[in-house]
């Protein structure tokens, strides 16, 4: 076989492998959407779930998913940015830094069900937060923080050190250089990582089953007092999310239309995650253009 | 390459009554960990002149240059001892505000490194951080520094395009403009033309020649023709020491040290 033929063969094999991946992804997406979308209606998206009879919706679960996501991001993003800046810009190369990095890597490879059980033992039982949005958000933080931190650190590291030297040589302090030179340039990467992380969190079930709970008490969407148990804003109420709902229906659902509800919820979930990915891409590109050619 | 003596040294004297010294190092030593990279270099640099630092790769000329505005401070495990006298102050001491000092001693690097900001913001960014918000003054600053860096005519119609969209030579001149917008006393240039094509190089050289009316320039270069063309004084570095320091003309025609002679005539090593 001459080099040209070998090249052709290799190209062919690579195309086939790539093709298989695309076919799997497309058929999975197609199947879920095909099965689920017919059940998705405005009523389905807004009405509460029903336990025994048909016709229940996913309104509360959908709201819970977004609210939990928001809280988890509010907690984890500032910590991740701080930790990422520390690791990329300030940490010296020594054993403490290595230890932190190794810990982050181990944390990020923990199975989410383990994170969930940890959250159950620590937040739910030890700190007596019960099954609540707060417990769930904290568990999701544990689950999400390592990856976000890693993403912030990597994004900052991708900015060439000559950019930092440029800032320092002009008499700017290290902090000013980081804040005004490095972060703006790294922002597109950071944002993309955040949104992808959000997608992961949005679809997470195992970490939430034992922390945010598996029940979705009825909410009164006219009550915005965060201390009232019926208020959607209350962070101490149990809150079953969309992903947990799907898991629950499939494992113990007794509604006559359980399969349909599950399919519809899955379609909604996948669409939301897809949306996150597209938004991440779009926002990343837009920001990059804005930051570099403003 | 190892057979040149490090004790065979010629450093020219300056007549301090008529020749103003802008900055001077005294027994400057740089350590990377335990390893001494610069072995006690004492060089005075005359004001409003261009001084070239030449020498083979690894001879320590860039390390020496980066010590002058203490850019080596940012590298873990690096230690610089000795004095750097600037306006009667030893700027290599701990109680010196290095950020303030760097406003007076600017630097241009080997790789053009404009910020990912517009040309206008590249130049005004640091002055704004230091409190200059007068739009008219900033505009003037942009125009003056771009003119001094010989870039104005090429970019004046679109100052809001990204600094990253410029060609290598233009980007390097933007970096020079950015450095001189701070109106430093001294401009350190670390092989500013090594990444540029010959035409851009000669533009940068012309720029430097016009700048020396207002700035003291110290430039590291690999290019001996460049040193010969633009500089008034030249220091030859070898193995972490300055072996010979003299008027450029003398270095290139009648060097006093064997190592210098071999290096400038291309018989080095």
CB atoms A170 and B182 under 8 Å = yes
**What is the distance between the alpha carbons of residues A16 and B227, in angstroms, rounded to a whole number?**
58
Closest chain B CA to residue A173: B99
The residue ranking higher by pLDDT, B48 or A49, is B48
The residue-averaged pLDDT of A89-108 equals 90
pLDDT for the residue A82: 95
The predicted-structure confidence for A259-272, as pLDDT tens digits, reads as follows: 888 999 999 999 98
Q: How far is A174 from chain B (nearest CA, A)?
A: 9
Q: How far is B41 from chain A (nearest CA, A)?
A: 22
Q: How far is A28 from chain B (nearest CA, A)?
A: 41
pLDDT for the residue B107: 95
With contact defined as beta carbons under 8 Å apart, do A189 and A150 qualify?
no
Residue from the list A168, A185, A294 with its beta carbon closest to the beta carbon of B74: A168
Do the bridges between strand B216-220 and strand B186-190 make them parallel or antiparallel, or are there none, so unpaired? Answer: parallel
Looking at the complex, does the CB of residue B165 fall below 8 Å from at least one CB of chain A? yes
Domain boundaries, chain B: 10-113+186-264
CB atoms A172 and B179 under 8 Å = no
B242 to A74, A277, B133: CA distances (angstroms): 57, 58, 44
CB atoms A184 and B175 under 8 Å = no
The residue-averaged pLDDT of B83-87 equals 93
The residue-averaged pLDDT of A26-50 equals 90
What b/e string do you get for A158-184 counting C-beta neighbours within 10 Å, with b at 16 or more?
ebeebbbbbbbbbbbeeebbbebbbbb
CB atoms B116 and A180 under 8 Å = no
User: Can you give the pTM of this predicted structure?
Assistant: 0.84
pLDDT value at B1 more than 60: no
Q: Which of A40-44, A121-125, A285-289 has the lowest mean pLDDT?
A: A285-289
DSSP code per residue over B48-117? T-EEEEEE-TTSSHHHHHHHHTTGGGGSTTEEEEEEEEETTEETTSTTS-HHHHHHHEEEE-SS----SS
Residues of chain B contacting A165 with CB distance shorter than 8 Å: 71, 74, 107, 109, 113
pLDDT for the residue A292: 67
Question: Which percentage of chain B shows pLDDT scores above 70?
Answer: 99
Reduced to 3 states (helix: H, G, I; strand: E, B; else coil), residue A232 is: coil
Closest chain B CA to residue A171: B99
pLDDT for the residue A259: 87
- A236, A235, A245, A234: which is closest to A209 by C-alpha? A245
The residue ranking higher by pLDDT, A1 or B213, is B213
Sheet holding B216-220, edge to edge: B10-11, B241-247, B233-238, B50-55, B216-220, B186-190, B105-108
pLDDT for the residue A293: 59
CB atoms B162 and A173 under 8 Å = no
**Chains A–B, number of C-beta pairs less than 8 Å apart:** 77
B156 to B136, B146, B169, B203, B205: CA distances (angstroms): 16, 9, 16, 17, 21
Domain boundaries, chain A: 40-293
Question: Which percentage of chain A shows pLDDT scores above 70?
Answer: 99
DSSP assigned state of B118? B
**What is the distance between the alpha carbons of residues A242 and A247, in angstroms, rounded to a whole number?**
9
CB atoms A180 and B175 under 8 Å = no
Kindly provide the ipTM of the predicted complex, given to two decimals. Answer: 0.89
Q: How far is A100 from chain B (nearest CA, A)?
A: 19
- A124, A140, A116: which is closest to A67 by C-alpha? A140
Tokens standing for residue A268: 């909604």
- The top-scoring range by mean pLDDT among A211-215, A288-292, B176-180 is B176-180
pLDDT value at B104 more than 80: yes
With contact defined as beta carbons under 8 Å apart, do B59 and B240 qualify?
yes
The residue-averaged pLDDT of B256-260 equals 90
Q: What count of other Cβ atoms lies within 10 Å of the Cβ of residue A64?
A: 27
CATH of A40-293, one of 3.10.180.10, 3.40.50.300, 1.10.3720.10, 3.40.710.10: 1.10.3720.10
Residues of chain B contacting A181 with CB distance shorter than 8 Å: 115
Through-space distance between the first and last CA atoms of chain A, rounded to whole angstroms = 53
Reduced to 3 states (helix: H, G, I; strand: E, B; else coil), residue A66 is: helix
**What is the distance between the alpha carbons of residues A137 and A66, in angstroms, rounded to a whole number?**
11
CB atoms B175 and A166 under 8 Å = yes
Residue from the list B76, B126, B160 with its beta carbon closest to the beta carbon of A170: B126
Angle at B175 between CA B174 and CA B178, to 5 degrees: 85
**What is the distance between the alpha carbons of residues B192 and B202, in angstroms, rounded to a whole number?**
11
The residue-averaged pLDDT of A184-203 equals 89
Do the bridges between strand B241-247 and strand B233-238 make them parallel or antiparallel, or are there none, so unpaired? Answer: antiparallel
Q: Which of A54-63, B25-34, B129-138, B254-263 has the lowest mean pLDDT?
A: A54-63
CB atoms A169 and B109 under 8 Å = yes
**What is the distance between the alpha carbons of residues A43 and A34, in angstroms, rounded to a whole number?**
19
- A3, A117, A65: which is closest to A265 by C-alpha? A65
Closest chain A CA to residue B165: A293
Cα B173 to the center of its chain, rounded Å: 14
Residues of chain A contacting B117 with CB distance shorter than 8 Å: 184, 291-292, 294
CB atoms A162 and B162 under 8 Å = no
pLDDT for the residue A94: 87
pLDDT for the residue A49: 83
The residue-averaged pLDDT of A124-145 equals 92
The predicted-structure confidence for A101-119, as pLDDT tens digits, reads as follows: 999 999 888 999 999 999 9
DSSP code per residue over B166-211? S-HHHHHHHHHHHHHHT--SEEEEESTTTTS-HHHHHHHHHHHHHH
Cα B153 to the center of its chain, rounded Å: 25
Q: Which residue has the tokens 């303030």?
A: B100
pLDDT for the residue B175: 95
pLDDT for the residue B269: 61
Q: B22 phi and psi, to 5 degrees?
A: -85, -45
Residues of chain B contacting A162 with CB distance shorter than 8 Å: 109, 111, 113
The predicted-structure confidence for B50-64, as pLDDT tens digits, reads as follows: 999 999 988 999 999
Q: At what angle do helices B198-211 and B168-181 cross, to 10 degrees?
A: 20
Residues of chain A contacting B69 with CB distance shorter than 8 Å: 169
CB atoms A171 and B71 under 8 Å = no
The residue-averaged pLDDT of B57-74 equals 91
Residues of chain B contacting A172 with CB distance shorter than 8 Å: 99, 126, 129
- A88, A61, A66, A109: which is closest to A238 by C-alpha? A61
CB atoms A169 and B71 under 8 Å = yes
pLDDT for the residue B7: 82
**What is the distance between the alpha carbons of residues B267 and A53, in angstroms, rounded to a whole number?**
95
The residue-averaged pLDDT of A17-40 equals 94
Looking at the complex, does the CB of residue B175 fall below 8 Å from at least one CB of chain A? yes
Q: Which CATH superfamily is domain B10-113+186-264 in?
A: P-loop containing nucleotide triphosphate hydrolases (3.40.50.300)
Helix, strand, coil: what percent of chain B each, to 5? 35, 25, 35
CB atoms B113 and A294 under 8 Å = no
Tokens standing for residue B53: 């630092």
Residue from the list B106, B113, B160 with its beta carbon closest to the beta carbon of A163: B113
Looking at the complex, does the CB of residue B117 fall below 8 Å from at least one CB of chain A? yes
Residue from the list A92, A170, A171 with its beta carbon closest to the beta carbon of B76: A92
The predicted-structure confidence for B125-183, as pLDDT tens digits, reads as follows: 999 999 889 999 999 999 999 998 889 999 999 999 988 889 888 999 999 999 999 99
The answer for residues whose C-beta is within 8 angstroms of residue B157's C-beta and 6 or more apart is: none
Closest chain B CA to residue A160: B113
Residues of chain A contacting B76 with CB distance shorter than 8 Å: 92-93
**What is the distance between the alpha carbons of residues B84 and B89, in angstroms, rounded to a whole number?**
8
pLDDT for the residue A214: 87
pLDDT value at A294 more than 60: no
């Amino acid at each position: 076989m001459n080099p040209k033929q070998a090249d052709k063969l290799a190209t062919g094999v690579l195309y086939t492998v790539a093709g298989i991946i695309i076919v799997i992804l497309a058929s999975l997406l197609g199947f879920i959407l095909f099965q689920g979308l017919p059940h998705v209606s405005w009523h389905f998206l807004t009405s509460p779930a029903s336990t025994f009879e048909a016709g229940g919706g996913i309104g509360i679960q959908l709201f819970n998913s977004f609210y939990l996501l928001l809280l988890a991001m509010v907690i984890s993003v500032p910590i991740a940015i701080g930790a990422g800046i520390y690791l990329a810009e300030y940490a010296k190369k020594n054993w403490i830094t290595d230890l932190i990095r190794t810990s982050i890597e181990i944390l990020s490879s923990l199975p989410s069900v383990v994170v969930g059980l940890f959250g159950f033992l620590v937040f739910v039982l030890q700190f007596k937060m019960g099954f609540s949005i707060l417990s769930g958000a904290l568990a999701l933080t544990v689950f999400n923080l390592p990856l976000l931190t890693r993403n912030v650190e990597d994004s900052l590291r991708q900015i060439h050190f000559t950019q930092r030297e440029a800032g320092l040589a002009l008499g700017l302090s290290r902090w000013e250089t980081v804040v005004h030179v490095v972060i703006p340039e790294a922002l597109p990467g950071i944002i993309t990582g955040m949104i992808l992380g959000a997608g992961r969190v949005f679809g997470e079930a195992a970490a939430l089953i034992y922390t945010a709970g598996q029940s979705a008490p009825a909410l009164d969407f006219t009550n915005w007092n965060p201390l009232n148990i019926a208020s959607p804003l209350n962070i101490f109420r149990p809150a079953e999310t969309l992903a947990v709902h799907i898991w629950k229906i499939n494992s113990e659902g007794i509604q006559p239309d359980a399969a349909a509800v599950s399919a519809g919820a899955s379609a909604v979930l996948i669409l939301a995650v897809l949306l996150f990915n597209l938004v991440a891409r779009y926002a990343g590109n837009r920001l990059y253009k804005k930051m570099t050619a403003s | 390459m190892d057979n040149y003596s490090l004790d065979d040294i010629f450093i020219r004297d300056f007549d301090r009554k008529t020749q103003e010294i802008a900055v001077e190092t005294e027994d400057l030593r740089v350590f990377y960990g335990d390893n001494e990279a610069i072995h006690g270099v004492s060089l005075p640099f005359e004001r409003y002149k261009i001084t070239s630092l030449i020498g083979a790769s690894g001879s320590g000329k860039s390390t020496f240059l980066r010590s002058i505005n203490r850019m080596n401070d940012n590298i873990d495990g690096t230690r610089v001892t000795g004095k750097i006298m600037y306006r009667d102050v030893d700027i290599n001491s701990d109680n010196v505000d290095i950020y303030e000092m760097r406003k007076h001693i600017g630097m241009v690097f080997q790789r053009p490194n404009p910020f990912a900001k517009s040309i206008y913001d590249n130049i005004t960014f640091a002055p704004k951080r230091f409190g200059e918000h007068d739009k008219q003054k900033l505009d003037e600053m942009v125009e003056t520094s771009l003119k001094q860096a010989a870039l104005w005519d090429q970019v004046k119609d679109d100052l809001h395009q990204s600094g990253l969209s410029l060609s290598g030579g233009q980007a390097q001149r933007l970096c020079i403009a950015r450095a001189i917008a701070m109106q430093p006393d001294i401009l350190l240039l670390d092989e500013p033309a090594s990444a540029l094509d010959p035409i851009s190089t000669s533009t940068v050289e012309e720029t430097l020649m016009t700048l020396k009316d207002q700035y003291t320039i110290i430039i590291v270069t690999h290019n001996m023709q460049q040193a010969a063309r633009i500089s008034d004084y030249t220091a030859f570095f070898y193995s972490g020491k300055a072996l010979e320091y003299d008027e450029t003309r003398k270095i290139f025609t009648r060097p006093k040290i064997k190592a210098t002679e071999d290096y400038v005539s291309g018989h080095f090593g």
